[in-house]
Structure 1
Amino acid sequence: MEKLIELIHGINTFVWGLPMVVAIVGIGLFLTVLSRFIQIRKFMRMWRETFIRTFRKESSGEGDISPFQALNVALGGTVGVGNIAGVATAIAAGGPGAIFWMWISGIVGMGTKFFEVALGIHYRTREPGGPMVGGPMMYISRGMGSRWRWLAFAFALFGALAAFGIGNMVQANSVAEGLQYFNIPSWITGIGLLIFVGLVTIGGIKRIAHVAMFCVPVMCVLYMLGAAAIIIWKINYIPSVLTMIIHDAFHPRAAIGGFAGATIMQAIRYGISRGTFSNEAGLGSAPIAHATAKTDHPVRQAFWGMMEVFVDTVIMCSATALVIILTGAWSSGETGASLTIHGFSSLFGLKFGSALVAFCMVLTAYDTNIAWCFYGETCAAYLLGHGRIVRYAYRFLWLPFVLIGALLKLDAVWGIADILNGLMAVPNLIALIVLAPLVVKLIHNFENSLPVSRTFPLQKTPGRD
């Protein structure tokens, strides 16, 4: 078993190594330049097209759920353990300078997610008797032609399988670990989670959206209030911490306390990889959720995609990072969620600090579980056709793995899930490069109020063609 875990770890290190990081960031920079830095140029427009438009109840067009609900489902899949434990791991391995590179990955990722969501909306179709279907498998097969359908098949296969690991068992395991802080046995957590996940996922995207609209805002507000209290408590140290982050991004950090020291390459690698792992820009998962939104233009929903990355990486991840660095917890020698708990406990005490972080981890892991069930079933429906039958079969198959994930140690599952998650990015990144000019045209049409010429009608295209 140890040799198997070592093999999986080796493959995982290769898949998520420097080439993948360079590819994701490099393609993100390419898309950013091609769109004339749309995440900066249209930053205020992003706010107007998202939350301000929602408060005015200005949403129209084809779709199953509101744009805000689609954002919450997508955030349910992205805002998770990575924001709490992943950021801590990046700091523990790469030092404070890793946060600078995490910000870079977030800014670049906003542009990548914009292109993903725009393509997901443009090439989506209505599944007979089911929801809107979009995502990389759709814009590869429809946008790149039948010769590339094998690439769409590859993405859907990786997505349908990866969901059971990264979206299901790993998240269930995180919930079980989190509830152990409240002395709840793992088997009780597993059974309870199985029931609550089943009650939601069986209802499809609309029920998932309603639950996500409660869980995601509650978690974000609760976590940010706790982080804000610590930031205000240590506000005098903010300038020196920001200076430290920028300085360490370009200069090696020597060992201090329990921190072993880090090179510049470690800061870059862990900052960018953890940021990408958190916001999932380039992986192609979130466009599946955004494609179900009621919207009248691909670019309008693409602004919600940009907002998703901004909330996840620039706001949530930064809050975790500031808590860890401001409190001095980063040099304690801890890593992962324990490091984040160490930071929160500086103000709130160990009991309340650990309970706050654990509760937020439970909510985010539950959100991620139900969101990834929809991602996985959509990929399976693309692969096998017969949408409704396949979707229900996938949902029922999903539930036993929830219980398994809550009960077992998942070292091997973590590794395999990471590998499949990374492999999802390859077809998606290829498609983003090929179809990027179309998104530029969509941006031009939107900015000049020109009609969108759809290659495929929404209602007439059945199945996976």
Structure 2
Amino acid sequence: TSIQSNSIALALKTQLGLEPWISGLGLAVLTWLVIVGGIKSIAKVTTFLSPFMVFLYIFGALFTLIAFASHLPHAFYLIFVGAFKPSAITGGVAGMTVARAIRYGLARGAYSNEAGTGTAAVFHATAQTSEPVRQGLIASLDVFIDTIVICSLTALTVLVTGVWNTGITSTAMTAAAFNAALPKYGGLIVAASSLLFGYSSLITVPYYGEISFKYLLGKWIKKPFRWIFCLVIFAGAAMKVEEAWSIGDVFNGMMAFT
């Protein structure tokens, strides 16, 4: 939760100059308005937002890749050389870099697509379908679109534009990449996409928690949990990027291995 609110706040701060605490407060209120309606309310909002946020982001990424098409061969060179011969890039710290790549690759991958954490099953189990296999395929498609399509496009845009080597981090890096091809508008696309992607996550994640705590403690925990969840959203928006991701990694790891 802290990661989503932090990423949205960073994007809005970078592009619109909006203070993080204002973003956090707005997100907390908007999230509360949806989650009080339960699973039906959450499903309606995410079903409406999903097509817009996916196509908007893919459009911006593809436009950037077309604009920097001549840099694509070098981008793939960096990917394969970095994967199979890291010493060519890192020199004497190759071993440490490989270890960091594996550590962050696993953490960010699990966080992004939820594969292996067991959370997606909570939502897919609520679907009304006559064919469970079809629902399973839809769940697999989620991971494919998220990882192979969205994440790959993001990596390529960052590499072809050269912003990966500028010291910028998180959402600001992607915004800089899009701005290289779409001055002024590229960053707004990233800000809008971050808001939609992040908000759709913010309103779905509490359902996982509600179901889990309800099983452990009973129905009474639902309302207190929602209040605490919204407070975490507000706090996460004001955190430093590194702090938000570190906290997210810890809790995501605990969820995956318990």
Q: Which bracket does the TM-score occupy, shorter chain normalised?
A: 0.7 to 0.9
Read off the aligned partner of 1:397 and give its amino acid letter.
I
1:426 aligns with 2:257: yes
Secondary structure at the counterpart of residue 353 of structure 1: helix
**Residue equivalent to 1:372:** 205
1:191 aligns with 2:25: yes
2:8/2:194 contact within 8 Å kept? yes
**Residue equivalent to 2:144:** 310
**Residue equivalent to 1:338:** 172
1:173 aligns with 2:6: yes
Structure 2 length normalisation: TM-score?
0.85
2:20/2:238 contact within 8 Å kept? yes
**Residue equivalent to 1:106:** none
**Residue equivalent to 2:226:** 395
- Residues 330 and 190 of structure 1: CA distance in aligned 2, closer, same or farther (over 3 Å): closer
Equivalent residues in 2 for 1:47-66 (5 A)? Answer: none
**Residue equivalent to 1:381:** 214
Paired with 2:78 and 2:233, the residues of 1 have a C-alpha distance of 42
Paired with 2:102 and 2:247, the residues of 1 have a C-alpha distance of 24
Q: Give 1 or 2 for the bigger CA radius of gyration.
A: 1
Equivalent residues in 2 for 1:52-451 (5 A)? Answer: 167=1, 169-180=2-13, 181-255=15-89, 262=94, 263-349=97-183, 351-386=184-219, 389-409=220-240, 414-427=245-258
Larger deviation, residues 303-312 vs 395-404: 395-404
> What's the C-alpha RMSD, in Å, of the aligned pairs?
2.7
2:7/2:170 contact within 8 Å kept? no
- Residues 424 and 315 of structure 1: CA distance in aligned 2, closer, same or farther (over 3 Å): same
1:255/1:261 contact within 8 Å kept? no
Paired with 1:338 and 1:282, the residues of 2 have a C-alpha distance of 28
- Residues 261 and 345 of structure 1: CA distance in aligned 2, closer, same or farther (over 3 Å): farther
Structure 1 residues 232-251: Cα deviation after superposition (integer angstroms, max 9, x where no partner): 22334434533442343111
Q: CA deviation at 1:381?
A: 0.8
Q: CA deviation at 1:407?
A: 4.0
How many residues are aligned here?
A: 255
Q: CA deviation at 1:367?
A: 1.3
Structure 1 unaligned blocks of 5 or more? 1-166, 428-465
Q: CA deviation at 1:266?
A: 4.5
Paired with 1:410 and 1:252, the residues of 2 have a C-alpha distance of 26
Q: CA deviation at 1:170?
A: 3.4
Secondary structure at the counterpart of residue 345 of structure 1: helix
Q: CA deviation at 1:261?
A: 7.6
Paired with 2:239 and 2:164, the residues of 1 have a C-alpha distance of 30
1:345/1:352 contact within 8 Å kept? yes
Paired with 1:352 and 1:198, the residues of 2 have a C-alpha distance of 30
Paired with 2:69 and 2:239, the residues of 1 have a C-alpha distance of 42
Paired with 1:426 and 1:280, the residues of 2 have a C-alpha distance of 13
1:279/1:313 contact within 8 Å kept? yes
Paired with 2:257 and 2:177, the residues of 1 have a C-alpha distance of 36
Larger deviation, residues 405-414 vs 357-366: 405-414
Secondary structure at the counterpart of residue 283 of structure 1: coil
Q: CA deviation at 1:408?
A: 4.9
Paired with 1:404 and 1:268, the residues of 2 have a C-alpha distance of 29
Equivalent residues in 2 for 1:34-49 (5 A)? Answer: none
- Comparing both chains, which one has the higher relative contact order based on Cα–Cα distances under 8 Å and sequence gaps of 6 or more? 2
Q: CA deviation at 1:318?
A: 0.5
Larger deviation, residues 365-374 vs 172-181: 172-181
Read off the aligned partner of 2:198 and give its amino acid letter.
A
2:9/2:23 contact within 8 Å kept? yes
Structure 1 residues 54-108: Cα deviation after superposition (integer angstroms, max 9, x where no partner): xxxxxxxxxxxxxxxxxxxxxxxxxxxxxxxxxxxxxxxxxxxxxxxxxxxxxxx
Paired with 1:249 and 1:409, the residues of 2 have a C-alpha distance of 29
Read off the aligned partner of 1:384 and give its amino acid letter.
L
Paired with 2:60 and 2:241, the residues of 1 have a C-alpha distance of 30
